[in-house]
Structure 1
């Protein structure tokens, strides 16, 4: 499928596009350009915003400068209507935020994904392709602004932002906005004061494994790359535990590694079926299923209908 057609088949969450449009209206000079007018019309009609159009909108917002993009991130969380977005702000700490962000990410945008590393007082993020091409700097800076706003809301602390190039090098603060060629933004590092009052450093924030338990941490890991050839041993190694320890954690939770692997892949496929118009064979491959018939069989077992009917139901259609 040609890239332009694929981007029209994928859509972004309307609150993402709405926050970007609101910031553009606030910071832009002169009338809205074609992308802004298109997004405003689509949102007013309750129609989905294709990812390609959203990218054009972010390009216009990016041209307004760093503060405009940062404002879009803040606007997203001012009065979110989607309960998934509201739930992001109810976590007690950063580990809980990271655990909740994984399923929300796919609901917001399916062209790209993020990989996060959480340490006390620091979150490092890489922004990567998923079903689309490599993100452009305007897209990465926007997602960075969203992350910054979320971290500030959860920690209650000012957040220091460093944008990163593909090799992990820190970019000069104004580098992405300088005229002429500049390294593409491929990630960011967020830092905040992790101390608590006069009593010195807080206890280090736990990784996702302690926030959600080992089974939850395993699910989050798999959801990041559902089509990978996951084995129990590989997941255990990534989580820093012995395979037997991970297996026992699944047993105590009343499940198995294979059952959780299948459930995550089915959940990812369900999001893609509902949120995109991509061919079902392509969704099957992206979610880790052998082929389209395999996806259809699992959908019927779990949902009582095939993915095509599941998609029609999501769009309000009937047989």
Structure 2
């Protein structure tokens, strides 16, 4: 059990962040044990040929049977919308002692051959292979992935603002709960510690590659909770939604289809991917639907996320 004592039960104690580095590193779990991540199988099939040219021995060595990864590869993000080049660059200054200790924590019985050698040399090899992995397997799909992560943060921010921290944490993960000012995270392992967020705060990072709440292995790391993002089940789907016939007759089949898709916040880019059309074409319809009061929008970072308004909900459901 990991316990974080919140310095104050208020919204200012908690912040959200999206980290491409986290997703890159946590996705290595799917390479080691794809059966545990059935919703990512379409992506794994899509990148099969691309990953064949990578150093898979080294990539797989960055996880263990419990699917732990070295803490230094998933540092607490400090930017709400991080960039992979910045995050990888920041890792170049990781000390040899930290590299050695974190790798040993993941592989306490001895390092795999791929991770043996001087820490500085091993670190350079790790960063190089992660960059190659990003270029081949992540960069083509990152916009789509990021959209789901952004939608999750918008949703949880709304819950937190309307109902408070406890309500927001109650919906994060069945193994995470807020008792008073103590956040408790139940892990599958025997790992246990308690630490305060005073002076450090708590960062929450949604992930497409986490099946339950996860924290740093070491209590010395800044308080950080990685949790499963909402909407993962729709990540690799194309649109199969059939809008009500009456609604399609009223506003047109394309706009009715968009309205049917927008039950949860979604960006123009994600809609374009799911509908296999250009973002420009989607934008024209979104503007018309919003002008009619059927959609609301909110900006998150560089994206604008749309979802149905109450009127749009009623119209879609035929009420």
Q: Same fold (TM over 0.5)?
A: no
Q: Which has the higher helix share?
A: 1
TM norm structure 2: 0.25
Q: Which has the higher strand share?
A: 2
TM norm structure 1: 0.25
Larger-Rg structure? 2
